[in-house]
Amino acid sequence: MPMELLNFIFRMGVLFAIYGFIWGIFEIILFFASMNKQKTFTEEYVIKGVKYVFLADVTFLFCLDLKDGEISYYQLALAALVLIMYFVGKLQSKQQQAKMFGMMGNGLPMAFKNFNLKAEIGVIALAILCFIGFIFFKDLSINPISDWFHDSIISIEKTPIIGFIFKVIGFFFLITMLFKMWNGILYLLSGAPFIRASVPFQSNSKKDDDFDDFEEIN
């Protein structure tokens, strides 16, 4: 059972990393297609909402046996926990970055000027609600877009060199998740975390899409 748990968290790390990579390519194409125009507040969060919902969808598909439609509720519970921790980690990272760049005044990047805590929580809540909804309406989780993401992630994961790189990322994600879980247990027992889970391996991109923080991948 412990090895199954570790392997599943590791797989989730690889999934999130590859999904972030694919979505990053999509955003680069969108950026150039819009003639380098900066996204408005509404565009920023509509795109992020779509991104998070499909991430929840693809995560659900990895807990679903596509051949017979059976759901692994054990994996589903673990996936929900990891997904929530991932989203919360991204929110915390975004808050910290916005606070740090806040000292730049007018030099603040557009991505942080558009930062809105309520909107961030809103898109996260939407993704989590969709994930829960898929349990009762699993047919909605199977659609051409999510199937394409699912198949693309598996294909990239099996690619010799690129797949290995994402597996390394998945390993660090596993370590980070274990620290977070351990901190959570210690916090419940003593009210104080043992160690902050933070791995200084992140993208230099200004977006929070690809691999923002190894507190969370992407």
Tell whether 98 is covered by a domain: yes
Structural domains in the chain (count): 1
Q: 10: domain range?
A: 2-190
For residues 195 and 208, what is the distance between their CA atoms, to the nearest angstrom?
Answer: 24
Picking from 20-24, 43-47, 61-65, 116-120, which range would have the lowest pLDDT averaged per residue?
A: 61-65
- Give domain status of residue 107, yes or no: yes
Q: Residues 84-88: contacts with CB within 8 Å, 24+ apart?
A: 84/128, 85/177, 85/180, 85/216, 86/16, 86/216, 86/217, 86/218, 87/52, 87/124, 87/127, 87/128, 87/216, 88/124
Q: What CA–CA distance (Å, rounded) separates 173 from 214?
A: 6
- Residue 199 belongs to a domain: no
* 206, part of any domain: no
Residue 14 placed within a domain: yes
Identify whether 135 is part of a domain: yes
Q: What is the pLDDT of residue 2?
A: 72
How do residues 61-114 score in pLDDT, each as one tens digit?
Answer: 988 865 566 777 888 888 898 899 889 888 888 888 777 766 665 555 555 566
Share above pLDDT 90 across residues of the chain, in percent, rounded to a whole number: 32
In a domain, 157, yes or no: yes
198 domain-assigned: no
Please write the tens of the pLDDT for every residue from 135-181. Answer: 898 889 989 999 999 999 999 999 989 999 999 998 888 888 877 77
DSSP string, 106-143: GG--HHHHT--HHHHHHHHHHHHHHHHHHHH-GGGG--
Nearest to 101 by CA among 89, 111, 91: 111
Looking at mean pLDDT, say which of 93-97, 162-166, 206-210, 214-218 comes out highest.
162-166
What pLDDT is recorded for position 68? 62
Contact yes or no for 156/166 (Cβ under 8 A): yes
- Across the strands, what pairs with 71? 64
